[in-house]
Structure 1
């Protein structure tokens, strides 16, 4: 009887380990594990899927993973060549937004890029996304409507402005996604508007950083590092020091390569905030 019980325990243990191992293998092999399927649309017998770390697209920086599958078989295509064009359809005009190239990831069925939405949609005005993609030497087009919401926490993570040089810019915060009481990695992207449909990366500017707590006598913090251009990532990188939890206004000032101020002001006793800023609260 003891032998039977012992063998039964071994069988249960083996089954548990096998099932756990199988589950882990499935999770490990899922190239979009941890991401949310935000939306999908069908065309050409294909399903285009758009994934994000958030369950929604919001104003500001959105990193998006793209997969394309054959609708009939649920088989995902590998090595797709993808281009995209986002368009905001307003009552009296249309415009696009800053966007990256769409590049393949380590998993050949997943491509990734980012879109920077300047404004949310509503019942009458909305964003659409057109994808031109190439599979096996054949080019296809697919498009769908996107729901873009305001920032989830209601804080400003993007600024669209006209500079002192009369050029129009889009500045968006990339990191920190989850700020903490520490010296945070600070990243942003800066684009110049060429026309309503085209934006170019604004290179080799400088963005000064002065975080303040308006509710705590507007005190600042030590060891911040200004944002400077990184040619490899095509982003601006620096450090953001947050010394306590609460609401912070990150006052910014944009300077060109010659040191001329394009937008923003110094924070002083007479001027408690810059006209160019981001916000975080945690």
Structure 2
């Protein structure tokens, strides 16, 4: 009897459970060429100005199977009336614990009022063959200022983007931002070893601040700047910032005083 039961169990477990590799994600769009369909995903199902964590996978149009071994890169480009430019973006890597899903991030520093202007090119290699596909994408304007593009006093253009907190709480929140410089119209490398001072204020509540904030410093492990953001109540917060280079020279931003209620370099939170 015990042998028969063991055999039944083996038969019942012969088909492994189907794992939804994009569970918790919403499809943004598909980009298709003659051979493949590239599916783009995020939690929201949209591209927004600011930091976007993006997942993607590539499907064989003939077999409907998703590829597990792909080398892939991307290039987001915005077409302006007289020129075009890119934006900061990461390399694309295999998503942890996933067979067919890859991930990376793109920081859109601007968009048109109707979400138009951007295209996304994907270059990828499968079994030694190179492919490319380009399509237009829609980038919506985020409701608060979660990204700043500005010229520093060193005549360098920077892009600063809020990464965390995505779900702020009345507490000490881990604040994480990305800082990039415009090397040229198509290249925005990460800026290392600067300092970003933080002074959060509530304009609607007498512009009061909060205790236990810390300035943001560079973390080599993921190429971001992190510090402590203290939020003492719900509502609208302005995160006043100053950008200092490696010699502590202020490149952008001012201290908040009674005469100067807001820095020219800031991000916004509302919760």
Question: TM-score under structure 1 normalisation?
Answer: 0.88
Mapped pair 1:35 → 2:31: no
Alignment check: 8 A CA contact 1:91 1:124 kept: no
- CA deviations 1:194-248 (Å, max 9, x no partner) are 1111111110000001000011111100111111100110011111100001110
Pairing of 1:60-99 with structure 2 (within 5 A): 60-99=50-89
| Structure 2 SS opposite 1:215 | helix
Pairing of 1:90-129 with structure 2 (within 5 A): 90-106=80-96, 107-121=98-112, 125-129=116-120
Mapped pair 1:280 → 2:269: yes
Alignment check: 8 A CA contact 2:114 2:140 kept: no
Q: Distance in 2 between matches of 1:63 and 1:198?
A: 19
Pairing of 1:1-282 with structure 2 (within 5 A): 25-26=17-18, 29-106=19-96, 107-121=98-112, 125-151=116-142, 154-282=143-271
- CA deviations 1:52-81 (Å, max 9, x no partner) are 011210000001011000112210001210
Q: Number of residues paired by the alignment?
A: 257
Larger radius of gyration: 1
**Higher relative helix content:** 1
Q: Distance in 1 between matches of 2:107 and 2:94?
A: 19
> Structure 2, unaligned stretches of length 5 or more?
1-11
Q: Distance in 2 between matches of 1:276 and 1:131?
A: 33
| Structure 1 SS opposite 2:106 | strand
Alignment check: 8 A CA contact 1:91 1:125 kept: no
Deviation at 1:30?
1.2
Deviation at 1:44?
3.2
CA gap 1:124/1:219 in 2 versus in 1, 3 angstroms: closer
Provide the alpha-carbon RMSD of the alignment.
1.7
Q: Distance in 1 between matches of 2:221 and 2:234?
A: 33
| Structure 2 SS opposite 1:39 | strand
Alignment check: 8 A CA contact 2:116 2:139 kept: no
CA gap 1:81/1:239 in 2 versus in 1, 3 angstroms: same
Q: Distance in 1 between matches of 2:191 and 2:32?
A: 35
> Structure 1, unaligned stretches of length 5 or more?
1-17
- CA deviations 1:58-109 (Å, max 9, x no partner) are 0000010110001122100012100111100122211100010011123131
| Structure 1 SS opposite 2:266 | strand
